[in-house]
Structures are given as structure tokens and as C-alpha cells.
Structure 1
Amino acid sequence: MRPFLAAAAVAVLSLAACSSGGRDDGKADSDSGGGNAAGSSGYTVAFVTHETPGDTFWDKVRAGAEQAAKDTGVTLKYSNDPDAAKQAQLIQSAVDAKVSGIATTLVTPDALAGAVKSAGTAGIPVVGLNAGIDQYQKLGALMYFGSDESLAGTSVGKRIAAQGVKHPLCVIHQTGSVALEARCAGVKSAVPGTENIQVNGADDSAVTTTLQAKLAQDKSIDYVVALNAQVALDAINAKQQSSSTAKVSTFDLNPEIAKRIKDGQVEFAIDQQPYVQGYLAVSSLYLYLKNGNDIGGGKPVLTGPSFVDSANIEKILPFTEKNTR
């Protein structure tokens, strides 16, 4: 695994990133290819995520997938829906279309199990990415690319516990997400006083209002752990409006969060390298279809956690602007 990851890392950093803007609907779909001409490999890969429209995190995942499609001549079919049942329908539609392979997030594994298993029955290889590290093999996915969310959460908890934090607020922005719940559980394992709060991640104003009310009501909250970059920005606004002294850190990285780390408004970010997740998911399917390669040897390939803070932000900032970090 290490030689492959090293080679992949070199490839990722040496290729020009292919960026995409946020989608306005929940079911964006596109064809992508190049390098060799689109589809010149003869393979079509369906790439299905639980992206919430407007969440810039997924621009990086999609950029990595599109670059891999260009490099391998794969035709890429991207689609997304944050509703678990609708995501399952997108996977089933890909099966019915007889694509060559499927890459999908597994954030709600129980809801997606039927569709993923139907792909296996149809002889279509599936790889998981981003969410579902503990469930992907049970569902029949061959490989997995992402972060160990429990480990990441525990790492955050230990880091803030060392700072004397007693009552962090962990903000879950999507109901039923096993990945987000694992992150907060990890934080709590190191800081027993951790409190979870549920917000609607699709509505920034609602997130800000909910957090503002909570921080104003409970002054013992000394830290806010956001689980994505946009929620962290909402938390900064809520902190200011409630006159809270709580510090803020976040999972995931975007150009705005990178700037906030540099100016001290965000303590650190935990980067799972979504560009790499998208890139490896598509390229691994290409290699499996072409050569029968199994990346990871039956184990998940970890793309994080990687801490970004004041010590390394100057080096990483340019990559955030290119949409590769």
C-alpha cells in the first residue's frame, strides 16, 4: 500500500487540478474524461455521493475523480443526493445502466446496502470512499479510501484535552451519518464533557442561530468542534454574536478556513484529503477492471487525518487555492 500511495501522492501533486463549482440541485450529473480521450479505456464509472448542494468539500472530491478519469480515459458519471433513499436510487440506476464500476460514499450504510449488494450481484465492482470505513466490506465493496473517523475524533479530543478543554460542543450537521457520529464519539472518548448538538447543515442561517443560542445559554462551553468547514464558519459567526470565548476547530479544509487558521480564528483543521479520495476511488476501479489490482490488500487506504494549523498553514495554503487540499 505504501508504494502505491507514494506514487499516487506524486501524481496528485504533479497534475493540474480540475475544479468544479457548487451544484444548485441535489442530483448533478456529468460526463468527464480526457488525458486519453473520454471513454477511450472503454470503462464507465458511476461516482455517487451524499453531497449537500453548495458544500465546497465535494468540489475537491469531484475534482480528484475528474482528474483520475482524464488520466485513465474513464467516462465518469457523477451524481449526488444527501437523502439516503435517493442516493440508494442513484446507485441502483447505475447498476441498471450496466456501468463498469461504481464509487460511492457509504455514510448511511443500512439505507444503501440493498443497492450496493445489487451491484455485486450484477458483477459490477464497487469501492467505497469518505464514509463507511467499518461497513464497506459487509456491503460488498472491494476497496475503501478515506479517513478513520474514530481515530480522527480521538486525535482531536486528545489535542484539545491537552489544552485544558472541559466542555466542547461537537456539531453534527447531517442526521444518521455514521462518520460524523464516530468523530464526536472519538472526541468524547478523550474529553468526557463533550456535548453533541444536531443542526441542519443545509441551512447556514439556521446553523448560526442554533449555535448562537446554545453558546449564549451555556457559557461553560469552551470549545466548538465543527465537522465540516462551512459549519466552522457558521460557528465563528455564532461565537461573535453570542460573545462566547469558546475556541473553534474543524474537520475538513477549504480556502476560507485556511485563511481563518492563518489569522487565528480557527485553531486547526483535520484534513482527510478529499481530492485524494476522489482520485484513488476512480483510479483503483480502472486498475481493478484492467489488471485485477486490489489496492490496500483487503484493508482501507487511509487519506487522513492530517492536522493543518499555524505551523504548516503557509505551505498548505497555496494548495487550498488550487482545490487540491
Structure 2
Amino acid sequence: MNKNSLMLAATVAAFSMISGSCWANSFSFKDSFASDKFSVSLASGLLGEGKGREYVYTPAPEQREMSYLTWNIENTPIVNADLSWDVLPWLTFSARGWTTLNSGKSEMNDYDWQDDDNPQLLTDWSHHPDTRLNFANEFDLNAKIFLINQPAYKFGALLGYQQNRFSWYAKGGYGFHASEDENDDYIPGTALSSFDEYDPGEPIIGYRQQYDIPYFGLVGTYNYRSFELNGTVKYSPWVQAKDRDNHYGDKLFHTKANRDSDYYAVSVDAGYYVLPDTKLFTALNWTKFKTAKGVTSVADPETGESFSGLGGLSSEFYTLNLGLQYRF
């Protein structure tokens, strides 16, 4: 059993012991469905400035970066929903998520380093301002176990599962490229030597990312009169990340990364109870997926040929929301 598996097993075992003991002492099925046990919130906001990153590396053992693409996220409208159930005073189950309402403005940059003798030399660069974020979304299921539970404040542990997905589409643009021989190999001394401009609207690249994350974290709540402040910190070393890159009319890249990527997220929300059961709130969330490396399969649709290499992906973004929560 590897280190990550041991960590996950220990986390689940600790959760089981804590919840099992508390459940035996305090659970009442009838009370769990009493009034004021459920809350639902709806919010709208922005998927703020962020970036998805795509990498291609040279084969082992060198594994140097030979291609790097950046896909920007630029303030796209989103809608957010959350449903929570206070099963017990110390245990809450939640289902939450957000999705973009429509496609958003983006841009893509593509960088290549083809010179093996001078790996720091940028040989190709292209810029694609006519790029769209087709969609982005997040879904999260979690359980909060409050180890400290006082009228004015609560603090506890968090266990959950989350999925994030992103899709982009780049068209047109321009770039500076190196010359290549008949075998598509770089000709030394020709870095950035030729200028190319793509037809407006010409499909260039379609790209998708998906992250699946079992995670753990900490959660806290503080109340003062009608004001409420909530904070959450989440972490996971078990991210399963994969992506799909479609170079239209050229090659298809598909990366499935290993479970060696880390996930970090921090969220803060502040609210005011305008009525005893109704809260107006604003929330800020920051999320980062570190670079996940894995085997990349490359297929040429014209010849049917394929081969494997090494690729990677990462992402970072934030969301800002304003919404209303109702308890019933």
C-alpha cells in the first residue's frame, strides 16, 4: 500500500470512529427531520481571473518542458446552489455546485521549445485572442463533523468528493514559428523566423480538463448577533486529472495523469440574517490544482498512427458570489 492510500485509510478510519461514537450517543431519526434542519442557498457571481495550463514534456529521463499552452478564464457569469442537512448538531451533509451560464471570453497562448541543444530557446509562439471558455462547472458532496460546537462558534473537520470540468475552443490568431524539415524536425537557427496568420474563425484547438478529488479539510463558523462568518480550507493529494486536446486537422492529444497532483482550496463567506431564517451573503473561493503528469497518447487521424509521450495539466481560479440562504 502506498503513502497516499495509507493517508486516505487513516482519514476514513478516524472519521468512522468519531462519527460512530457520536451517532450512538445522540442520533434521533425523528429529530433529524425537524424544522430548521435544512438550508438551501442560491447565488450568482463570477468565475474570476484564472488559467488552465497544458504541458508536453520530452521523454524520460530528461522530461524537460517542450510545449506549454495557457487557457485564460476571464470573469464568466456563474450560478451557484447549495443544499445542506443538519442531521445532528455536530454533523452536516451538503451538496453544492456551480456552473457557467454561457460561454465566456478567453484567450490562448501556445509556446514551444524545439531546440534540443538550446532548450531555453523559444522556437514557436502563437496567440489566439478569439478563444472561448465553452463551459466550466463544479460539483461537491461533503460531510462536516463539528468537534467544537458552541452557540457563537463551531469548528470541525470536513470530508468530501469534488469534480471540476473546463472546456475551451480557440479560433484564428497569429504566430511566429520555426522552420521544419521534411520529417517535421526543427531546423537549427530558425526560431521564430516565420510569421503565420490564421483565417478568422478557423478552428485551431479544442481543449478539456477534468479533475476528480476526494478531499479533507477544516471548517469553522462564527456568529455575532445577526452576522455570520464561515471559512473552509480543503486539501487533497489524491487528485485524478485528465485532459483532451484536439489540434483540428493535425493531431489529437489525450492525457490521463497519475494520482500525484495536489489540490488546495480556501473559501470565506460573510452573511447577515435579514430575517431569522433568511441570510444575505457574499462568498469568495480560491482553488488550485498543481501540475499532474501522466502518459499522453497522441493520434494522427489522417494516418491512423499513434504513439505515447509525457504530458501534464494544471489549473487555478477563483469565484465570487452574492446570494440568499433560507433555512427550513
Both proteins in one fold, TM over 0.5? no
Highest RCO, 1 vs 2 (Cα 8 Å, sep ≥ 6): 1
Whichever structure has more strand as a proportion of its residues is 2
User: Which structure is larger by alpha-carbon Rg, 1 or 2?
Assistant: 2
Whichever structure has more helix as a proportion of its residues is 1
TM range (shorter): under 0.3
